[in-house]
Chain A
Amino acid sequence: MNPENPNGGTAMSVLEMRHVSRTYGQGAAEVHALDDINLTVEAGSMVAVMGPSGSGKSTLLTIAGSLEEPSGGEVLIGGAPLAAMSRNAKARLRRRVIGYVFQDFNLLPGLTAAENVALPLELDGLSARKARLAGLKTLDDLGLGERSSSFPDQLSGGERQRVAIARAVVGDRRLLLADEPSGALDSANGEAVMRLIHSACKRGVAAVVVTHDAQLASWADRVVFLRDGRITDRTAPPLGPESLLTPGPVQ
């Protein structure tokens, strides 16, 4: 269940948001983009955040990823509060711990799949050779080994997004943040992308997937519903599949 927590018992929370709020503007023009958000994501689990456009989904993700600061409340990553970190420490966290996946892949066209995946490690100071090996290993782990020397324009949309996911979890990244990760893909490719995020979670990554698509969200262990910047509801822990396969009479 949680390979990164050998002590067993309560799972380690990779991301914790405590009473997080975010307001834009002041006075009468003040807008509450997020209001008192409490969210914990443990290692090995996937949480989906569902809500309509403008509900604050993307703001939640950028704050969780330390790309934006909350107006109130606290964000902890791996137990460490972001507010207490220097700019450099936060930048290091973004390079080493957090992986981002966006709707439009953002692969560099002049680099192969393996080079794209290795890039964050190289930027973090790892030797080109070590970074390349780590990149290849991640592609292999995710079943994309064959495509490692292809350039992005030689890959299909679905393959590009899978490479982007590999890049987001390369090395020792523990938190995967995805914003509508299968936005432009057809349903078979969307499913492949979700399977991949799911398998990354099984290997211990914590994932937050923001989406308005229920089919994507249904891959998550938990779904929280966002409306006007507030979490209004959460799913119960899912029952096993056998609950749907119990015998019943046929019409």
Chain B
Amino acid sequence: MSVRHALLALLSEGPKYGLRLREEFEARTGEVWPLNVGQVYTTLQRLERDGLVESDGAAQDGPQKTFRITPLGERELAGWLRTPPDLSSPPRDELVVKVLVAMRVPGTDVHEVIQVHRRYLVELMQQWTRIKEAEVRGSESDLNLALVVDAELFRLDSVIRWLDAADGRIKRAAAEPSGQPEATPKLKRPRNQRTSHQ
């Protein structure tokens, strides 16, 4: 989540002071991403330094200081909205690694390992769904919350689907008598691969 661009977005509606920005940020993200005051001010200072926002210089630093977006800031925001997030490189998914490793550890039932993770993910989804259940239609912040919750549910669901697929694939592979290749073929890395470890 880019706090920087979220603040630019809030300022694109008109000048606002710091405390108000924090309140609106939390309301817009369905209060799923709480933000501390310090983060708001350090981010605003950096935005001001980079010429993306300006303040009424007269007032002292503090909650009443008003910020407004500059034309440069508006261009930055428009560009960011349209820049695809980095989904291109396969993330070094810890869960994928665990399942691959579980297949090789003697005395370990990979299906049982998969099930432990599946259960955990379903429990997480149950918690998110409870939020949806309590949701009251109508207000803008409820719509925001519903969108955030949907995003989490789809994300978790996709991990469960992968586990289901892996479960089935491993089961079928075990049932096939033909000798399976011992070595895992090396994946050719796509271009633009980030090499940084998380």
Known: A212-B164, A214-B160. A238 touches B1 (CB 8 A): no
Known: A212-B164, A241-B134, A250-B33. A235 touches B122 (CB 8 A): yes
Cβ-closest chain B residue relative to A198 = B133
Q: Does B147 contact A (CB under 8 A)?
A: no
Known: A240-B130, A250-B35. A233 touches B119 (CB 8 A): yes
Of A52, A215, A235, the residue contacting B164 (CB under 8 A) is A52
Cβ-closest chain B residue relative to A246 = B34
Interface size on A, residues (CB 8 A): 33
Interface size on B, residues (CB 8 A): 36
- Asked if A251 and B1 make an inter-chain contact with CB atoms under 8 angstroms apart, the answer reads yes
- Within the complex, what minimum Cβ distance (angstroms) separates B190 from chain A? 25
Of A212, A227, A235, A248, the residue contacting B126 (CB under 8 A) is A235
Chain A, 218-251, CB within 8 A of any chain B CB: 218-220, 223, 225, 227, 232-236, 238-241, 243-245, 247-251
Q: Does A177 contact B (CB under 8 A)?
A: no
Chain B positions within 8 Å of A191 at CB level: 132
Q: Does A50 contact B (CB under 8 A)?
A: yes
Q: Does B174 contact A (CB under 8 A)?
A: no
Once the chains are docked, how many angstroms separate the CA of A236 from the CA of B3? 35
Chain A positions within 8 Å of B121 at CB level: 214
Once the chains are docked, how many angstroms separate the CA of A248 from the CA of B131? 18
Known: A235-B123, A243-B127. A52 touches B168 (CB 8 A): yes
- Asked if B3 and A250 make an inter-chain contact with CB atoms under 8 angstroms apart, the answer reads yes
Once the chains are docked, how many angstroms separate the CA of A244 from the CA of B32? 8
- Asked if A218 and B129 make an inter-chain contact with CB atoms under 8 angstroms apart, the answer reads yes
Q: Does B24 contact A (CB under 8 A)?
A: no
Chain B positions within 8 Å of A218 at CB level: 122, 125-126, 128-129, 153
Q: Does A113 contact B (CB under 8 A)?
A: no
- Asked if B36 and A214 make an inter-chain contact with CB atoms under 8 angstroms apart, the answer reads no
Q: Does B28 contact A (CB under 8 A)?
A: no
Q: Does A77 contact B (CB under 8 A)?
A: no
- Asked if A50 and B122 make an inter-chain contact with CB atoms under 8 angstroms apart, the answer reads yes
- Within the complex, what minimum Cβ distance (angstroms) separates B105 from chain A? 20
- Asked if B119 and A245 make an inter-chain contact with CB atoms under 8 angstroms apart, the answer reads no
- Within the complex, what minimum Cβ distance (angstroms) separates A140 from chain B? 19
Cβ-closest chain B residue relative to A195 = B133
- Asked if B156 and A214 make an inter-chain contact with CB atoms under 8 angstroms apart, the answer reads yes
- Asked if B1 and A250 make an inter-chain contact with CB atoms under 8 angstroms apart, the answer reads yes
Q: Does A217 contact B (CB under 8 A)?
A: yes
Chain B positions within 8 Å of A198 at CB level: 133
Of B34, B39, B115, the residue contacting A233 (CB under 8 A) is B115
Q: Contact mask A63-96 → B, CB, 8 Å, 1/0?
A: 0000000000000000000000000000000000
Cβ-closest chain B residue relative to A223 = B122
Chain B positions within 8 Å of A219 at CB level: 129, 133
Cβ-closest chain B residue relative to A214 = B160
Once the chains are docked, how many angstroms separate the CA of A225 from the CA of B120? 12
Chain A positions within 8 Å of B130 at CB level: 238, 240-241
Q: Does B16 contact A (CB under 8 A)?
A: no
Chain A positions within 8 Å of B128 at CB level: 218, 241, 244
Chain B positions within 8 Å of A50 at CB level: 122
- Asked if A225 and B34 make an inter-chain contact with CB atoms under 8 angstroms apart, the answer reads no
Q: Does B31 contact A (CB under 8 A)?
A: yes
Could you pull out 7 A-B pairs where Cβ atoms are within 8 angstroms? Answer: A195-B133, A214-B156, A235-B123, A238-B130, A240-B127, A241-B130, A250-B1
A→B interface (CB under 8 Å): 50, 52, 191, 195, 198, 212-215, 217-220, 223, 225, 227, 232-236, 238-241, 243-245, 247-251
Which 10 A/B pairs are nearest by Cβ-Cβ distance? Answer: A218-B125, A241-B131, A247-B34, A218-B129, A241-B130, A238-B126, A214-B160, A218-B126, A235-B123, A214-B157
